[in-house]
Amino acid sequence: MYQPRDFFFQKAKKEGYPARSVYKLSELDKKYNLFQPNQFILDLGCSPGSWSLYISQKIKPRGRLIGVDLQETTIEADNFFFLQGDIFKLAQKELSALMTQVGIDQFNGVVSDMAPATSGIKGVDAGRSAELANRVIEITRDTLKKGGFLVIKILEGGEHESVWREIKRTFKQQQQIRPKAVRPNSREIYIVAHGFKRT
Ligand SMILES: C[S@@+](CC[C@H](N)C(=O)[O-])C[C@H]1O[C@@H](n2cnc3c(N)ncnc32)[C@H](O)[C@@H]1O
């Protein structure tokens, strides 16, 4: 049964995170050792801001984080910088300008927990999720450091295979994982890829 206020919801509330999704990222981080002090990270689809809050703490003292989302975020941290907008309309020069302003040349990691507004029609939602993922890969190509990592959420379905193939071409290692905090009735999976092959 769908339980909106489940264990992870309560835990997030108690620990001061605005969303339960933080436990998906913390599981991936424990498993793959993603975040280190002083890294530069791009968080696409960052609102309300649990992932950003988690990352901003892990990359201290000199790390910096840029978050992008259609919607406002509630996060306040002195190493977090926010760009409000649609990633399909985000011009590279707009992102580059903010990167320069905050002293980031390239990112060590790009993470995306983006999800499309769901229609309830499986094929349509999986298709939109794959479009988001493809755009994330484009932005990653422009901004990720050689050897860097990518974490990306995608809905399982036909087009997720083509995203997977693209990631296999672009990174040295890649895994697909379904963290424990993903709701049982969800088709979400996360791809964690390491060793970006910048050409
Ligand atoms: C599941 S939420 C992310 C939760 C976030 N990781 C956290 O821990 O708080 C997905 C986010 O993706 C954003 N999003 C969806 N499509 C987007 C787009 N085209 N451009 C920018 N953000 C988008 C939504 O506005 C939403 O805030």
Put the strands of the sheet holding 80-84 in their side by side order: 80-84, 64-69, 40-44, 107-112, 144-155, 188-196, 171-177
111 in contact with ligand 1, CB cutoff 6 A: no
| Residue 1 confidence (pLDDT) above 60 | no
Domains of the chain (ranges plus CATH)?
Answer: 37-69+85-196 (3.40.50.150)
For the full predicted model, state whether its pTM sits above 0.85: yes
Question: What integer pLDDT is reported at residue 149 of this predicted model?
Answer: 98
143 in contact with ligand 1, CB cutoff 6 A: no
| Residue 124 confidence (pLDDT) above 70 | yes
Q: Which atom of ligand 1 is nearest to the CA of 47?
A: 27
Mean predicted confidence (pLDDT) in 101-127: 90
Q: Which atom of ligand 1 is nearest to the CA of 22?
A: 8
Please give the residue that has the higher pLDDT: either 11 or 191.
191
- For residue 50, how far is its CA from the centre of ligand 1 (angstroms)? 11
Length of the chain: 199
Q: How does the average pLDDT of the chain come out, rounded?
A: 93
86 in contact with ligand 1, CB cutoff 6 A: yes
Could you give the percent of the chain with pLDDT greater than 70?
A: 96
Q: Is 153 a catalytic residue?
A: yes
| Residue 3 confidence (pLDDT) above 90 | no
Q: Which atom of ligand 1 is nearest to the CA of 19?
A: 9
- Band (pLDDT 50/70/90 cuts) for residue 159 is confident
| Sign, CA torsion 57/197/103/18 | negative
Question: What integer pLDDT is reported at residue 30 of this predicted model?
Answer: 97
Mean predicted confidence (pLDDT) in 27-34: 97
CA atoms of 131 and 135, how far apart (whole Å) = 6
